[in-house]
Structure 1
Amino acid sequence: MAQAARSAEEIRRKYGLTEESLWNRLKRNWTGYLFILPTFVMFTLLFYIPMIQGVWLTFTNAQLGGAGTSNFIGLDNYMWMITNDLFVFALGWSIVFVFATTLLQLVLGMLVAVLLSEIKEGPREWLSAIIMSPYFSAPLAGGVVWMWFLSPDFGFMNMFLSDIGIQNPPTFLSQGLWPYVSMIIAQAWHDFGYAGIIYSAAVINIPSAQYEAAALAGAGRLRRFRDVTLPHLVTPTIIVLALRTAWNIAEFAQPFELTGGGPGTRTMLLSILTYEVAYVRLNFARAYTIGMVMIVLAMGAAIFYVTVINEEEDLYL
C-alpha cells in the first residue's frame, strides 16, 4: 500500500499534478465556472428543485389541481404501490417491454449500419434518410400509423391476410400475445434509427486497412464482422443500450396511442399507469410515487452505463 502511495505521489510530481485546495481551483478556473453557472442555475430551478418537491409529494396525499388537502401520510403511497396488483403487472410488463424493445433496436440499428456501409457514398445518404426517417417522426404520429396498420376494423394487415386467404386473422391489438408483440415491434421501428445513426458513425470510421488485413488472412465476411467490426462497436453498444433503456422506460405517446394500456389493463406500462393515476384519478402523489420507480430504473441504466464504460476504459490504460 505504501509503495502504491509513493508511486502515485511520484507520478503527480512528475507530471505537475500537485494537490490544490478548492479555493485555489476556483480562483484558477473562475471563468469556466462563470460560464457554467447559468446552466447550473437553470438545472436547479427546472430539474433538481422539482425532483426534491416530487420526492416530498410521495409522502403526502396531494391531489392534482389542489383538490382536497395535502397532508403528510408517510409511506402509505409506497405501501399502496407495492400491494397494487396493477402496478406489479405494469412493472413486470414494462421491464419486458424495455428489454425486448432495446434489444431489437440494437440489432436492427447494427444491421442497418453494416448494410449501409457497403453502399456507395451518394446513395447511402438517401437510403439512410429513408430508413431512419421513423426516428424523426413524432411518436404520436407513429402510434397513428401503427393503429391504421394493425386495426382489426380497417387495418391494412388484417385486410391483406384476408385477401391471401387467411380466415379469422389475429386481432393484433387485443388478442393473445399479439398486443405485446405489436407494441414491441412498433416501438423498435420508431427508434431503431437512433442506434443506426450511432452505429453508422462507428462503422464508417473503422480503418479499411483492418478489413484488408483480415481478408488477406483468409477471413470471410462473417469472420471479418466478428473480428474487426464488433470490437469497434462495443462502446457505441454500451452507449445506445444505456440511453435507449432510459428513454424506453419513459416512453408514453406511441404505446398510449396504440393500445392505451388495453384492452382493459392488459398492456399497461408504468408510463401509462402514471398518466391514469395522475390525470384520470387525480391522485398526483401516487402518480409521482410510480414515477419515482421509473426514475430509479432509468438511473440504474445510467449507473450501469458509467460503470461499464469505466471498466472498458481501464482495459486500454
Structure 2
Amino acid sequence: MAQQEARSDEAIREEYGLNERTITDRLKENWAGYFFILPTFIAFTGLFYFPIIRGITMTFTNTRIGEPGQFVGLANYQWLVTNDLFVFAFGWTIVFVAGTTFLQLGMGLVAALLLNELRSAAKDWVGALIMSPYFSAPLAGGIIWMWFLDSDFGFVHKLLTVVGIEGPSFLATGLWPFVSLIVAQTWHDYAYSAIIYAAALSSIPSEQYEAAAQAGAGRLRRFRDVVVPRLTIPTIVILALRTAWNIAEFDQPFALTGGGPGTRTMLLSILTYRVAFVNNNFARAYTVGLAMVVLSMSAAVVYVKAIDQEEDLYV
C-alpha cells in the first residue's frame, strides 16, 4: 500500500493512459483531419483574418488609393468621435436596426402563425408569396420601393392624386424618409424570421395543443402556454442575427435614398462607402467600419450564448 502511494503522478497517468499529449502527438494521430481542413484554414486566413488585421493597422495611417499611407496614430479615431456626421449616422443606424429588427420579428411571427393554420394545399402557394421578398436582390428591392414612393413618378403618389389626396414626399420631407427606409427593409427581410418561426412551430407536438384544449384553454391561452415557451430561443437567435445583418445593410438603403436627402438618412454602411470611394480615405472608412463591427459583435455575443442554451436550433 505504501509502495502504491509512493508512485509518482507520471507513473499513474502512464498506467491509465492519461499522459498529456503534445501537439506533435495530436498531429500524428489526426493528420488526415488536419490535412482536409488545411485548405479552409488557408482560405479563411487569406480572405478573412488577414484583411481584418490589415484593416486594423490601416486605421493608424492615412492610407488612400495609390498612396501607401503614413502612421498617424489615433488621429482617425479622434476624427471619428468628433465628427458630427458619424455621430448622427451612428445614432440613426441604431434606430434603423432596432426598428427593422423588431418589425421583422413581429411580421415573421404573424406570417409563421398564418402558415401554420393553413392546409398543405394552400400552404405552399401562400408560403411562396410570403417568402418572395427575401429571395429578391436587395438592390432590386430598393429600386422597386423608389418606384413606389418617389414624389414625381411614384405609384403611391399617383394613386393618392387620383383619389384627391396630396401625398407627402416619402423620400424627402419630415420623418417620411426614415419611415420609408425602415418599412422597405422590414418588407425585404421579415421572411427570414418567418422561416425560423415556421420551423419552430412545426416541431411542437400536436398532443400538446390537444392536451391544452382538453384542459379548457382557449386559443390565446394555448398560444401563451404551448407556443411561446418554444419560441424563446428562436426569438433570441433572430434578434441577434437580424441585428448584425441590418447593421451591415447597404444595397437597399443606398438604392432608395443614398443617405439623403443630403445626409438625413446616412447609415454607417453608406458613410463607410462615401468616405472610402467618394472622399478616397480608406483609413477613415475602415475606422467607421470598425464601429459597425463593434455593434455586430454585441449581437454575436447574444447569439453564441443562445446556442449554448439550445441544441436543436432551426436556423
Deviation per CA, 1:225-261: give whole Å up to 9, x if none.
Answer: 1111111111211221111111111100000010000
Asked if 2 retains the 8 angstrom alpha-carbon contact of 1:60 and 1:71, the reply is: yes
1:99 maps to 2:98: yes
Structure 1 Cα separation of the partners of residues 81 and 17 of structure 2: 50
Residues 286 and 159 of structure 1: CA distance in aligned 2, closer, same or farther (over 3 Å) = same
Structure 2 Cα separation of the partners of residues 87 and 22 of structure 1: 49
Query: Which residue number in structure 2 is paired with residue 51 of structure 1?
Result: 52
Determine which of 217, 220, 234 is the counterpart of 2:218: 220
Asked if 1 retains the 8 angstrom alpha-carbon contact of 2:236 and 2:302, the reply is: no
Query: Which residue number in structure 2 is paired with residue 198 of structure 1?
Result: 196
Query: Which residue number in structure 2 is paired with residue 295 of structure 1?
Result: 293
Residues 75 and 118 of structure 1: CA distance in aligned 2, closer, same or farther (over 3 Å) = same
TM-score using structure 2 length = 0.89
| One-letter code aligned to 2:31 | W
* Aligned ranges 1:247-286 → 2 under 5 Å: 247-286=245-284
Deviation per CA, 1:260-311: give whole Å up to 9, x if none.
Answer: 0000000000000000000000001000000011111111110121124435
* Aligned ranges 1:41-190 → 2 under 5 Å: 41-64=42-65, 66-67=66-67, 69-166=68-165, 168-190=166-188
Asked if 2 retains the 8 angstrom alpha-carbon contact of 1:238 and 1:309, the reply is: no
Residues 161 and 238 of structure 1: CA distance in aligned 2, closer, same or farther (over 3 Å) = same
Asked if 1 retains the 8 angstrom alpha-carbon contact of 2:237 and 2:306, the reply is: no
Q: Percent identity?
A: 63
Residues 18 and 112 of structure 1: CA distance in aligned 2, closer, same or farther (over 3 Å) = farther
Residues 296 and 22 of structure 1: CA distance in aligned 2, closer, same or farther (over 3 Å) = farther
TM-score using structure 1 length = 0.89
Residues 248 and 18 of structure 1: CA distance in aligned 2, closer, same or farther (over 3 Å) = farther
Query: Which residue number in structure 2 is paired with residue 21 of structure 1?
Result: 21
Query: Which residue number in structure 1 is paired with residue 6 of structure 2?
Result: none
Asked if 1 retains the 8 angstrom alpha-carbon contact of 2:111 and 2:194, the reply is: yes
| One-letter code aligned to 1:142 | G
Deviation per CA, 1:28-69: give whole Å up to 9, x if none.
Answer: 4333332222111100010000100000000000002x14x5
Residues 110 and 55 of structure 1: CA distance in aligned 2, closer, same or farther (over 3 Å) = same
* Secondary structure, counterpart of 2:43 in structure 1: helix
Count of aligned positions: 295
5+ residue gaps, structure 1: 1-15
| One-letter code aligned to 2:21 | S
Deviation per CA, 1:160-206: give whole Å up to 9, x if none.
Answer: 2222222x311111111111011001001001111111111111121
More deviation, 245-254/21-30: 21-30
Structure 2 Cα separation of the partners of residues 244 and 19 of structure 1: 46
Segments ≥4 residues shifted beyond 6 Å? 16-19
Asked if 2 retains the 8 angstrom alpha-carbon contact of 1:135 and 1:194, the reply is: yes
Shift of residue 19, structure 1, vs aligned partner? 7.7
| One-letter code aligned to 1:21 | R
